[in-house]
Amino acid sequence: MLRILFTLMFAFSTMLVSAQSYSIDVENSKVVIDGTSNVHDWESEAEQFSGNATIEIEEDSLISISDLQFNVVVDGIKSGKGGMDSKTYDALDKKKYPNITFVLSEVTSINDSSLSATGDLTISGVTKSIQMDVEYEIQPDGSVLFKGTQNINMKDYDVDPPKAMFGAIKAGEEVDVIFDAKFIQ
């Protein structure tokens, strides 16, 4: 009887708190880059990306996130306009730096529906520590949906904003990266 009770207690305790490996559900996730220029606003979408994390959930509450890594393939950033895409790839030096990466350093706070975190963002070979505020929602199927907007100044990463028509059209230095990322077990 004692052995059965011990086994049940152990099984119950491992169900309540358990860090699990998650990966991004590409089909149900989206990464959009919004920018400006001296002529009009523009938008590109990252069509090729990957990510994984170790996420700990206890009784439908987010407890911790560790080992989160996210990768965007530069060649997979598309605006729907070939000329603009080519300028973007040149500005990001895609041949030398084919990926943009984010690696989580730490989650600094978690509440019922949002979190703050720091991590290293690498663009065109330049790595900077950034702070992010992210909304999250634990889905009924156990997946976790992260949403947020991160402002990035291209000059901070030694990226010259793209230009067109011999410099007559100039992209602004800042872009907003809007993400809606679903992580599944």
- Does position 162 have pLDDT exceeding 90, yes or no? no
Per CATH, domain 19-184 is 2.40.128.110: yes
| E strands present in the chain | 17-24, 30-37, 42-46, 49-58, 61-73, 77-78, 99-110, 114-123, 126-138, 144-153, 163-164, 169-184
| Domain parsing of the chain, residue ranges | 19-184
Higher pLDDT, 4 or 120: 120
User: At 39, is the pLDDT very low, low, confident or very high (cuts 50, 70, 90)?
Assistant: confident
Tens digits of residue pLDDT in 81-101? 878 899 999 999 999 999 999
